[in-house]
């Protein structure tokens, strides 16, 4: 049975007021201001990963995702997370087949 058949009233239309634009470097940006929410969120989605891997590279995107947080020649392991989290932020990474 469909969800709509169980409802006594139709579902309201959800509005998503946002600005969508592209930076000169090609990055697509979706910006939404919510005055009731005193936080800033920044997500970066890359159009690559598990879905684009050839079979013989299976798991490479997931491996590289973990390597990003291991540090660099100039940033020690854990420093990136520390800087973000010491300001109230949260870091996370994910790969997907979708």
CA dist., res. 28 & res. 47, Å (int): 11
Q: Going residue by residue through the chain (98 aa), what tens digit of pLDDT does each one get? A: 566 666 667 667 777 788 889 999 988 898 988 888 888 888 888 777 777 888 898 888 888 888 878 888 999 999 989 999 999 888 888 777 66
Is 53 domain-assigned? yes
Catalytic, out of 9, 53, 56, 65? 65
Provide the domain count of the chain.
1
Q: How many helices (H) and strands (E) does the chain have?
A: 3, 2
> Which tokens in the block code for residue 62?
């997931």
Phi and psi (nearest 5°) for 7? -90, 145
What's the whole-model pTM score? 0.52
The CA distance from 41 to 13, in Å, is 24
User: Residue 68 contacts by C-beta under 8 Å, 6 or more apart in sequence?
Assistant: 93
Considering the domain boundaries, does residue 19 fall inside one? yes
In a domain, 55, yes or no: yes
Residue 65 within a domain: yes
Q: Is 65 annotated in the active site?
A: yes
Please give the residue range of the domain that contains residue 49: 3-85
* Residue 73 within any structural domain of the chain: yes
């Amino acid at each position: 049975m469909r969800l709509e058949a169980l409802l006594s009233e139709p579902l309201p239309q959800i509005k998503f007021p946002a600005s969508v634009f592209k930076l000169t470097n090609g990055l697509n940006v979706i910006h939404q201001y919510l005055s009731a929410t005193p936080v800033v969120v920044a997500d970066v989605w890359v159009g690559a990963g598990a879905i684009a891997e050839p079979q013989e590279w299976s798991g490479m995107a997931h491996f590289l995702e973990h390597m990003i947080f291991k540090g660099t020649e100039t940033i020690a392991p854990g420093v990136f997370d520390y800087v973000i989290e010491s300001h109230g932020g949260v870091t996370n990474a994910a790969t997907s087949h979708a």
